[in-house]
Structure 1
Amino acid sequence: MSDIECKLLIIGAGPGGYVCAIRAGQLGIDTVIVDEGEPGGTCLNVGCIPSKALIHAADEFYKITHASQRPLGISVPQPKIDLAKTVAWKDSIVKRLNTGVSGLMKKAGARFVSGSARFVDGKTVLVRKGDEEHSISAEFIVIASGSAPVELPILPFGGPILSSTEALALTEVPDSLAVVGGGYIGLELGTVFAKLGTEVTVVEAEDHILPLYDTGLTRPVAERLDELGVTVMTGARALGFEDGTLQTDQGEVAADKVLVTVGRRPRTVGIGIEELALTQDGPFVKIDRYCQTSMRGIYAIGDVTGEPMLAHRAMAQGEMVAELVAGHSVEWDKRAIPAVCFTDPEVVTCGALPDEVEGTKTTLFPFQANGRAMTTEREDGLFRVVWRESDHAVVGIQAVGEGISELSAAFSLAIEMGACLEDISATVHAHPTRSESLQEACLRALGHALHI
């Protein structure tokens, strides 16, 4: 056993953990970060990044495959997909980013220790990797252990039953796939395989897909799934899987593979949190506006602290905690955190939803009235603005449309800066772009939309 001492110890090198380590190192804090996996956590290795790579590949394949059916005058021979080669390309991107994160932490002076961590007490953690052990003592500790897919007892992972991790590693396109859970992960990956030629069935227990969102936002996604030939079973529950058949309470679904995406759980088991008797918020670690837990000197960030379980939330928390440890006066005061579903079309929400805040009204602008949307053959979707009647302050922005995720920064910037309808409507928006629809929605709310 070797003993290590430091000022700041971070358990988990996911987005929250590694950003915390980089910022702490920049601030001159003696920092150690521990993870049994590669730097970057779930998001970089088996989540956000690899899934977006496969989404891009599937989009390109689908466009080429259906080129002759489009009105652009393009015809090409029937293409083929070598999924093993696609996955190798995806893995190369992950490797590049792994190397980049490791280099950034090293450049900042943070030390990376590979292994699984477990609390001994509030100041000490034991790290094991094989026969090697490290006892690490720190003045401050950050729990950034992330989350893992929820496993159903009736559909345990293994063989044809896949979590998102295994689905992202498939090297052959399955003939048929049942997706249990119609949330964003299930629909993102289900859409990928549908575009690659798989017969996909989505089984969702609620009465509509993406149940955390209203039907105004999910309807274009549902219509697109229908265009892609995806069967969607709502109000349906999976009962088990046997001999290539998924049993549900609405009948049987033939499936070579079953992808289970019914949520994620915090990774708290196995790291010894019970030794600290930290206050919990359900299954999550309870924190205050400084990300401080119920034990002094121990912070928690990211998925382990609950919703919204988003990488960029974890990153912002990690940066803040590093500055707190450095003695800066900061606290969590974010007004809006954008959330993106990389479905087809994409969905973005930021701030308040309709009817969520008293005294607000909602105005939308459809992409059918947007020139840029027409020129890209994708007129499905809309912009929606939630605004306060008393002072016209914009408190929420939502949109659904192709590539709309790239405008998400404008949503959060407008809300964080306290923009009102007049601010956005008076801002010159480039033409022709989809972003004009945000301006038009605000103009419409003021009673003088120009293009509808």
Structure 2
Amino acid sequence: MNVLEKDLVVLGGGPGGYTAAFRAADLGRSVTIIEKESVLGGVCLNEGCIPSKTLLQYAEVLDEVAKISPLGLEFSAPILDLEKIRSHKQSVVSKLNDGIAGLAKARKVEVIEGTATLKSATELLVGDTVITFKDLIISAGSRPVQIPNIPYDDERVWDSTDALKLTHVPDHLAIIGGGIIGLEMASIYHALGSTISIIEMADSIIPPADRDLKAPLLKEIKSKYSAILTKTKVERVEASAKKLTLHLDNGEKIDADAVLVAVGRRSNADTLDLGKASIAVDERSFIVVDEQLKTNVPHIYAIGDITGDPMLAHRAAHQGKVAAEVACGQKSAFTPLTIPSVAYTQPEVAWVGLTENEAKEQGIEYVKGSFPWQASSRAMSALGTNGVSKALFDKETKRLIGAGICGKGAGELIAEALLGLEMGAVSEDIALTVHAHPTLSETFAIAAELVEKRATDTLNR
């Protein structure tokens, strides 16, 4: 059996993995990435975040056209060329793949293609090759959750990766799961011409977000989609030659041409033979780590989806930097006050910190400001009045504890709230900061002004 001796090995080349590798290389380590795919970037770049955002751009343009057509700028019906759309999507992915490969080469980071498992606390097995390491950073990611009684071998049953292949646009797409992934796919396929039905077990779409924050989105999609069913479970999906039939726990049936299962993701920890290195996992198969991303085995670290929620690329990337720094002897820790969440729907939904529900559950007394975009001149001129900006502040200290935005560009706008929360801003700090006018960003300042009772663009209630 072939044996290769390595210094620092990163298992997985996604956003967390390649970030960790690059940071460690910059700090002087000899770094090897082991990646099962032929390119770096992981699910986010190749099968998730980037392909979906590329396709969502088409959805956004079509949505803008629909809004402006009655206002004096009419367009003929769009002609879809799926081959060109797929080609553009892949070109975006390929350019980013090339960029990451170039950065790896420039840093002299070695990349080995293969599927690795643990052989011991100092060895990995890749095919018939044993790779020894001094330090290991595990960034092996996650995979879609599968639910029972679904004919996954039927090509009309999709997970998110299948949906992003855009092989065709089904007449009726039923989506099991009303979370971020399901709703983003709904935005894409509805814009391209599919009738959409959404079935969600929880009592609302995007369960973690506050109801008033996602209310503008719900209002928008209720007018577009065939059905949005909450508190509803799919008991089974029956396949016939012509259709797929979803049998619901309320006795109803939905016929569809394709079914997307988007009910979350699960850790890949169970694929790595972690027991051979005595690496501890919790009851959900997430690897247990401390704030330095160390596992219970001192020279083995874990980052990203494999360490738990939230399963987000930006969390993984920041964890990757910390793990690399600690492995290189630096004092570093992953201790963010919050991690932003964004649903890139039309309109977008983004939030940071505590939601109202969480504040109530924790017994935290708070005050809030909420500014509807119907009163925003910029939102009005941009045909985007269906939105809201809200901010939560500790009642006693007035320190920002949470914020949310629903509306055009919410994912970009939430950054101000994120920085304010991390830096300990109080309502007065935000309210007294002069924001440009007319902008959508000033809606967040007005939310703070409402708490300070000094808003003039709306009544101080």
Give the RMSD, CA atoms, in angstroms.
1.4
Tell me if the contact between 1:194 and 1:230 (Cα under 8 Å) persists in the aligned partners: no
Aligned counterparts of 1:276 and 1:123: Cα–Cα separation in 2 = 8
Structure 2 residue 125 is the aligned partner of structure 1 residue 134: no
Tell me what 1:290 maps to.
Answer: 292
Q: Following the alignment from structure 2 to structure 1, what is the Cα–Cα distance between the partners of residues 441 and 61?
A: 24
Taking the aligned partners of 2:430 and 2:395, their CA distance within structure 1 comes to 16
Partners of 1:430 and 1:227 lie apart in 2 by 33
Distance 1:170 1:78 in 2: 20
The match for 1:346 is: 348
- Secondary structure at the aligned position of 1:363 is classed as strand
1:262 Cα deviation (Å)?
0.6
Cα distance in 2, alignment partners of residues 229 and 74 from structure 1: 25
Partner of 1:153: 148
* Pairing 1:192–2:194 present: no
Match of 2:111 in 1: 112
- Report whether the alignment pairs 1:429 with 2:435: yes
Q: Structure 1 residues 354, 99: CA separation in 2 closer, same or farther (over 3 Å shift)?
A: same
Q: Does 1:177 align with 2:173?
A: yes
Provide the C-alpha distance between the structure 2 equivalents of 1:86 and 1:387, rounded to a whole number of angstroms.
Answer: 44
Determine the C-alpha separation between the residues in 2 that align with 1:165 and 1:84: 17
3-state DSSP of counterpart to 2:356: coil
- Confirm or deny: 8 A CA contact 1:33 1:111 kept in the other structure: yes
Helix, strand or coil: the match of 1:269? helix
**5+ unaligned residues in a row in structure 2: which ranges?**
none
In 2, the alpha carbon distance for the partners of 1:420 and 1:407 equals 18
Q: What's the CA shift for 1:66?
A: 6.0
Taking the TM superposition and a 5 Å limit, the aligned residue runs for 1:5-404 are: 5-37=5-37, 38-64=39-65, 67-68=68-69, 70-71=70-71, 73-128=72-127, 133-158=128-153, 159-242=155-238, 243=240, 244=243, 245-250=245-250, 251-282=252-283, 283-354=285-356, 356=359, 357=362, 358-404=364-410
Shift of 1:361: 1.9
Tell me how far apart the structure 1 counterparts of residues 322 and 122 of structure 2 sit (CA, whole Å). 21
Q: Retained in 2: the 8 A contact 1:64–1:79? A: no
2:135 aligns to what SS in structure 1? Answer: strand
Question: Do the aligned partners of 1:20 and 1:315 also contact (CA within 8 Å) in 2?
Answer: yes
Q: Deviations over 1:39-79 (max 9, x none)?
A: 000000000000011111122234335653x32x0112221
CA distance in 2, matches of 1:24, 1:237: 46
Distance 1:218 1:64 in 2: 23
Offset at 1:156? 4.2
Letter of the structure 2 residue corresponding to residue 78 of structure 1: A
Query: Are residues 351 and 370 of structure 1, via their aligned partners in 2, closer, same or farther at CA, if it must alter by over 3 Å?
Result: same
Determine if contact 1:290/1:331 at 8 Å carries over to the other structure: yes
User: How many Å separate the matches in 1 of 2:303 and 2:262?
Assistant: 23
Q: Is 1:195–1:228's contact at 8 Å kept on the other side of the alignment? A: no
Contact 1:354/1:362 (<8 A) preserved: no
Contact 2:60/2:346, CA 8 A, preserved across alignment = no
User: 1: distance between equivalents of 2:35 and 2:76?
Assistant: 47
Q: 1:171-222 CA deviation, whole Å, 9 max, x = no partner?
A: 2211110000111100110121111111110011112111122211121111
1:278-312 per-position Cα deviation (integer Å, ceiling 9, x unaligned): 22222211111111111111111000000111100
TM-score (norm 1): 0.96
Report the secondary structure of 2:406's partner residue. Answer: strand
Equivalent residues of 2:342, 2:411 under 8 A apart = yes
Instruction: For residue 76 of structure 2, give the secondary structure of its aligned residue in structure 1.
Output: coil
C-alpha distance in 1, partners of 2:152/2:217? 28
Deviates more, 1:1-10 or 1:84-93: 1-10
Q: Runs of 4 or more off by more than 6 Å in structure 1?
A: none
**How many Å separate the matches in 2 of 1:75 and 1:384?**
35
Task: Tell me the number of residue pairs that the alignment of Structure 1 and Structure 2 aligns.
Answer: 446
* Percent identity (aligned): 36
Would the aligned equivalents of 1:61 and 1:81 in 2 still touch at CA under 8 Å?
A: no
Letter in 2 for 1:252: K
Letter in 2 for 1:301: I
